[in-house]
């Protein structure tokens, strides 16, 4: 796509968009925590001089390398907090 080139959204682009939507719907992006599971729940936090971010996830009980995310969040810091 270039500045001088007219925008084109035809059947190929619509099919690609539909494939992407189907893939996202087939695999849940966020899951609830399964409190009955013995799988670990991870809270990860990252900070910088301007913001704090975090995510919460639970590992797959059969493979701890696979995590299911439950929540993401971030806040910016003001001058006093930074």
Domain boundaries, the chain: 30-81
Q: What is the DSSP letter of 62?
A: S
Q: Would the pTM of this model clear 0.75, i.e. be above it?
A: no
Average pLDDT, the chain: 92
Percentage above 70 pLDDT, the chain: 99
How much is the average pLDDT of 42-48?
Answer: 97
pLDDT at 41 over 90: yes
Q: Who contacts 45 (Cβ-Cβ below 8 Å, separation ≥6)?
A: 52, 53, 54
User: Is residue 57 a contact partner of residue 41, using CB atoms and an 8 Å limit?
Assistant: yes
How much is the average pLDDT of 40-48?
Answer: 97
How much is the average pLDDT of 29-42?
Answer: 92
């Amino acid at each position: 796509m270039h500045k001088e080139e007219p925008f084109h959204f035809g059947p190929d682009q619509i099919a690609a968009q539909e494939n992407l939507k189907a893939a996202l719907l087939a695999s849940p992006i966020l899951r609830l925590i399964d409190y009955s599971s013995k799988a670990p729940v991870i809270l990860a936090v990252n900070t910088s001089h301007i913001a704090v971010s975090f995510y919460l996830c639970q590992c797959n009980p059969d493979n701890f390398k696979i995590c299911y995310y439950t929540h993401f969040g971030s806040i910016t810091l003001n001058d006093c907090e930074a």
